[in-house]
Amino acid sequence: MQKSLSIYQFKENETIASIGASSGVWEIWFASQVENLTFYLQDIDEQNCNEEEIAYGVKYYENLLQKPISGKFIPIIGTPHQTNLPSDTFDKVLIINSLHEFQFPLFILRDIQRILRKEGTLFIEEQLANFQGEIHEGCGKRLFTQHELIDLLQKSGFQLKETFPKHSNVWIFKF
């Protein structure tokens, strides 16, 4: 998490969307490290992405770190085709461990073009395939090779700015 935080470079008062955020475990921790962040936690799964689960996570980290967390967290439920997030709103959009689970990634990525501010940044944190067609052990979905991922993002109108290796074939891509 510390390594991701150093790459995402959050600034106080930023507004960030996380797509496929589930209950926002990562984002709540990020908000414990930088003041006054607003996170829209977006997912298609209402069972995990809801006020109650998020409040549980906030309490967990506040107890663990023995300090209040100043961030705001807004759960938003999307569909396989669209994020349902507001247009021209976000300084940063994150997709953490989720891109390979999207049924229609091209639709979601094009929708992210709509919700990002003009100077906004998209970060994708993703385990890559070691060979074409490799299946993710955890979820049974197909992983992207680096070439496939960058190609998909270019088709969605994003230009790659930087790549950061994390660990065991997990990378962060900045667009």
The contact set with ligand SAM (CB under 6 A) reads: 19-22, 25-26, 42-45, 78, 80, 96-98, 101-103, 108
By beta-carbon proximity to ligand SAM, the closer residue of 2 and 66 is 2
By beta-carbon proximity to ligand SAM, the closer residue of 22 and 121 is 22
By beta-carbon proximity to ligand SAM, the closer residue of 38 and 97 is 97
Residue closest to ligand SAM (Cβ):
20
The nearest distance, CB 72 to ligand SAM, in angstroms, is 18
Distance between CA atoms of 30 and 4, rounded to whole angstroms? 9
The nearest distance, CB 87 to ligand SAM, in angstroms, is 17
- Residue found by looking up tokens 């705001």 in the block: 72
By beta-carbon proximity to ligand SAM, the closer residue of 66 and 168 is 168
The nearest distance, CB 46 to ligand SAM, in angstroms, is 10
Distance between the two ends of the chain, CA-based, in angstroms? 20
With contact defined as beta carbons under 8 Å apart, do 94 and 8 qualify? Answer: yes
Q: Which helix (DSSP H) or strand (DSSP E) does residue 56 occupy?
A: helix 51-65
Distance between CA atoms of 8 and 30, rounded to whole angstroms? 10
Distance between CA atoms of 13 and 43, rounded to whole angstroms? 23
The nearest distance, CB 77 to ligand SAM, in angstroms, is 9
